[in-house]
Structure 1
Amino acid sequence: MPREIALSGVYLPSLTLLLPLALLLTWGLDRLFARLGLYGFVWHPALLRTSLFGCLYAGMALFIYR
């Protein structure tokens, strides 16, 4: 995957396109965790959501930029 993507003449880093994908994956996993009742076992659900997004986003970035 190229490092930059031209969008209407503006060069954007490819990580910009990963952000909505990471948000969608986080949202889907959040709904799944809520349905399964896993948030009853964690200390701070908002912290889990934030760290889940960070791990997904960083994992996809490392996959692209390795």
Structure 2
Amino acid sequence: MPREISFFDAYVPTLLLAVLIAGAITLLLDRVLVRFGVYSLVWHPALVRVSLFTCIAAWLGLAIYA
């Protein structure tokens, strides 16, 4: 059964909150990776950013629903 959180009398899916948290974590990790110059070693930095966000969001989703 899906879990929901009441946010100002509106039910919000927990997965939406997980995606927002994943976005914040991705922004932090992106700044760290830029600072250390990791993106100069990859072929397509945008794909790395999208895959990083996808992996973090999926991990948080599995942590919630598993």
1:17 corresponds in structure 2 to 17
Higher relative contact order (CA 8 A, sep 6+): 2
Please tell me the residue identity of whatever aligns with 2:62. Answer: L
How many aligned residue pairs are there? 65
1:50 corresponds in structure 2 to 50
- Give structure 1 stretches of 5+ with no counterpart: none
Please tell me the residue identity of whatever aligns with 1:23. Answer: G
Question: Which 4+ residue blocks in structure 1 deviate beyond 4 angstroms?
Answer: none
Q: Could you state the TM-score of these two structures normalised by the residue count of structure 1?
A: 0.90
Q: Percent identity?
A: 48
2:33 corresponds in structure 1 to 33
Q: CA deviation at 1:8?
A: 2.3
